[in-house]
């Protein structure tokens, strides 16, 4: 450890740390644009200037240097917020905004933009330039997912370094020099295929890189993030699901906007995904926003939930050889509830709810895993996997199958067996089941998933379930009451 001084206070730093790293580790704030804790250090934006003084030297008589690339030395004295530092930051911001359009009113980044924040903290003045701003391309399409506003770009090169150092696609670069510099994709289209491309939207410190899905859809202050887990593969990345705040509920326009996923962003978790997620995680609305089933049925005939439950209980009570296919999208709590309530009554196997979709990246060395289900590890800790050969799973006298979740064709079930089906989505199989019970999805309840490395992550509810939809955990308890009574 090395002792040095920040704002005249002694602090400890690791050997080889920079002033930026040591200051952050000790709770001191230094602004930055181009620096990112997971990327190399280009030192190009100069906003992180600090003043370095000798012992006994007054503030204002030291020298200025960038904190992000300055190694700590023993006894060093750093001032992070002196008059000299604030004056240089103001000059730096005046330079950076010479050609920036300052169109915050229509910019998706407004409310989350560090340039906006630093401008109010350190500058606050209109542009000092008498020259007209240099205009550049607006809405330049980098890929189907991302558009670039070159006028807003401050050339921090974070996006370029991300594709070189993290996603390894080498898909972005800087074209031309000086105030003609432009971020451009490599012309072979590889940015389109970068499975992590949307992370550049998050790390762009300004509103230059924008999601086409989210563009002009909502101001961020109308939205709230709810901590959740991506169910897209067994990595189980920690994410924030953004949805409309209840106080900003729309009353006149399409009310479905009040209960939809507006965007998904990473929630930094060093134990699982660091600060990144893949593009599939961004697209959770496509998985969780599918048409929902909210009507219990008996062979396709709509009934209320208590009637459907009574029929399911009767089937369970009468069955001689019941088999269950357990969902690997069920939460730890639901799996435990199933095991406690029905695990002793059914021969249970874990099925695979989701297979890789055509064209989907199957696995890589960064985050994406081949198993496209969130809770296989926890499910298989309780029950064996479903054998590939259906004959081994279903003995000839199987007379009842409980299917929990999607992904298993009814055509593979024993033809004479009765079927109890628990599912969340509007699918043709629902009407073919003897008893169909609509269940909630993860954005409507609280729970935990265990990823392939054994890390347990929590998810929280974002929306209320529709009337007629039940939580699987409650259904298992309700089904057990009578089933046990019948079997004793």
Question: For residues 45 and 147, which CB has a smaller minimum distance to ligand FES in the complex?
Answer: 45
Q: Where are the beta strands (DSSP E) in 102-144?
A: 140-141
155 interacts with ligand FES by CB under 6 A? no
47 interacts with ligand FES by CB under 6 A? yes
User: Are 32 and 14 a contacting pair, CB within 8 Å?
Assistant: no
Question: For residues 89 and 244, which CB has a smaller minimum distance to ligand FES in the complex?
Answer: 89
User: Are 111 and 221 a contacting pair, CB within 8 Å?
Assistant: yes
158 binds, among ligand FES, ligand SF4, none (CB under 5 to 8 A by kind): ligand SF4
Q: Give CA–CA dist 420/299, Å, rounded.
A: 10
48 binds, among ligand FES, ligand SF4, none (CB under 5 to 8 A by kind): ligand FES
Q: Which long-range contacts (CB under 8 A, 24 or more apart) does 81-90 make?
A: 81/7, 82/51, 83/59, 84/51, 84/59, 84/60, 85/49, 85/50, 85/51, 86/122, 88/49, 88/64, 89/31, 89/47, 89/49, 89/118, 89/122, 89/123, 90/122, 90/123, 90/125
Q: How far is CA 100 from CA 25, 90, 287, in A?
A: 32, 15, 38
User: Alpha helices of 97-152 — where are they, by DSSP H?
Assistant: 114-118
CA 153 to chain centre: 25
Structure tokens given for 167: 């996603």
401 interacts with ligand FES by CB under 6 A? no
Residue 270 CB partners (closer than 8 Å, separation 6+): none
Shortest Å distance, C-beta 259 to ligand SF4: 22
Q: Where are the beta strands (DSSP E) in 301-399?
A: 301-302, 322-326, 347-350
Question: For residues 305 and 456, which CB has a smaller minimum distance to ligand SF4 in the complex?
Answer: 456
- Residues within window 167-186 making contact with ligand FES, judged by CB under 6 A: none
Q: Give CA–CA dist 285/243, Å, rounded.
A: 11
33 interacts with ligand FES by CB under 6 A? yes
Stretch that binds ligand FES, among 28-36, 304-312, 365-373, 454-462 (CB under 6 A): 28-36
Question: For residues 158 and 418, which CB has a smaller minimum distance to ligand SF4 in the complex?
Answer: 158
Q: Give CA–CA dist 41/438, Å, rounded.
A: 52
CA 38 to chain centre: 18
Stretch that binds ligand FES, among 39-47, 243-251, 259-267, 440-448 (CB under 6 A): 39-47
204 interacts with ligand FES by CB under 6 A? no
367 binds, among ligand SF4, ligand FES, none (CB under 5 to 8 A by kind): ligand SF4
Residue 208 CB partners (closer than 8 Å, separation 6+): 148, 149, 150, 152, 153, 154, 183
Shortest Å distance, C-beta 39 to ligand FES: 11
Structure tokens given for 286: 């496509």
Question: For residues 255 and 370, which CB has a smaller minimum distance to ligand SF4 in the complex?
Answer: 370
418 binds, among ligand FES, ligand SF4, none (CB under 5 to 8 A by kind): none
47 binds, among ligand FES, ligand SF4, none (CB under 5 to 8 A by kind): ligand FES
Structure tokens given for 196: 């992590």
Shortest Å distance, C-beta 203 to ligand FES: 13
> 3-class DSSP state for residue 459?
strand
User: x/- string (CB under 6 A) for ligand FES, residues 56-75?
Assistant: ----------x-x-------
Shortest Å distance, C-beta 325 to ligand FES: 53
280 binds, among ligand SF4, ligand FES, none (CB under 5 to 8 A by kind): ligand SF4
Phi, psi (deg, nearest 5) at residue 322: -85, 140
115 interacts with ligand FES by CB under 6 A? no
30 binds, among ligand SF4, ligand FES, none (CB under 5 to 8 A by kind): none
13 interacts with ligand FES by CB under 6 A? no
Tell me which of 4, 28, 35, 459 binds ligand FES, using CB under 6 A. 35
Stretch that binds ligand FES, among 42-50, 88-96, 263-271, 468-476 (CB under 6 A): 42-50
Total interface residues for ligand FES by CB under 6 A: 12
122 interacts with ligand FES by CB under 6 A? no
* Exposure string over 48-59, b if 16+ CB within 10 A, otherwise e: bbbbbbeeeeeb
Q: Give CA–CA dist 468/437, Å, rounded.
A: 9
Shortest Å distance, C-beta 185 to ligand SF4: 11
Contacts to ligand SF4 by CB under 6 A: 153-159, 183, 204-206, 208-209, 230, 232-233, 235-237, 273, 277-278, 280-281, 367-368
68 binds, among ligand SF4, ligand FES, none (CB under 5 to 8 A by kind): ligand FES
Using CB under 6 A as the criterion, which residues of the chain lie in contact with ligand FES when the complex forms?
32-35, 43-48, 66, 68
């Amino acid at each position: 450890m090395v002792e040095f001084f920040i704002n005249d206070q002694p602090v400890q730093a690791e050997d080889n740390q920079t002033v930026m790293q040591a200051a952050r580790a000790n709770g001191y704030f230094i602004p930055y644009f181009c620096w990112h804790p997971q990327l190399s250090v280009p030192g190009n934006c100069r906003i992180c200037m600090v003043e370095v003084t000798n012992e006994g030297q007054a503030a204002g008589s030291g020298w200025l240097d960038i904190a992000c690339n300055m190694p700590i030395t023993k006894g060093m004295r750093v001032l992070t917020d002196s008059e000299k530092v604030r004056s240089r930051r103001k000059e730096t911001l005046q330079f950076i905004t010479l050609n920036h359009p300052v169109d915050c009113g229509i910019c998706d980044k407004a409310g989350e933009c560090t340039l906006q924040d630093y401008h109010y903290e350190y500058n606050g003045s209109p542009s000092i330039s008498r020259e007209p701003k240099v205009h550049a391309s607006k809405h330049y399409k980098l890929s189907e997912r991302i558009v670039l506003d070159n006028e807003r770009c401050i050339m921090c090169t974070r996006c370029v370094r991300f594709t070189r150092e993290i996603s390894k696609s080498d898909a972005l670069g800087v074209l031309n020099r000086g105030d003609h510099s432009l971020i451009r994709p490599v012309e072979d289209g590889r940015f389109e295929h970068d499975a992590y491309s949307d992370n550049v939207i998050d790390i762009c410190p300004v509103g230059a890189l924008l999601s086409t899905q989210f563009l002009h859809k909502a101001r961020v202050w109308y939205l709230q993030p709810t901590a959740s887990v991506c169910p897209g593969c067994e990595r189980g990345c920690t994410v924030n699901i953004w949805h409309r705040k209840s106080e900003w509920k729309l009353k006149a326009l399409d009310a479905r906007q009040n209960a939809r996923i507006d965007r998904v962003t990473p929630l930094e978790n060093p134990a699982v995904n660091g600060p990144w997620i893949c593009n599939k995680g961004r697209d959770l609305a496509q998985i969780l926003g599918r048409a929902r089933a909210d009507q219990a049925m008996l062979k396709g005939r709509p009934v209320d939930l208590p009637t459907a439950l009574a029929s399911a209980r009767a089937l369970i009570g009468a069955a001689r050889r019941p088999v269950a296919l357990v969902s690997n999208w069920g939460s730890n709590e639901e799996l435990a509830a199933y095991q406690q309530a029905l695990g002793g009554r059914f021969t249970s196997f874990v099925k695979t709810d989701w297979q890789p979709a055509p064209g989907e990246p199957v696995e890589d060395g960064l985050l994406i895993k081949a198993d496209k289900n969130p809770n296989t590890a926890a499910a298989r800790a309780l029950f064996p996997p479903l054998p590939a050969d259906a004959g081994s799973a279903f003995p000839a006298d199987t007379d009842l199958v409980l299917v929990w979740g999607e992904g298993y064709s009814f055509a593979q079930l024993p033809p004479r067996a009765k079927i109890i089906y628990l599912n969340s989505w509007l699918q043709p199989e629902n009407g073919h089941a003897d008893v169909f019970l609509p269940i909630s999805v993860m954005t409507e309840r609280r729970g935990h998933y265990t990823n392939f490395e054994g890390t347990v992550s929590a998810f929280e509810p974002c929306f209320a379930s529709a009337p007629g939809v039940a939580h699987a955990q409650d259904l298992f308890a309700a089904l057990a009451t009578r089933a046990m009574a019948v079997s004793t």
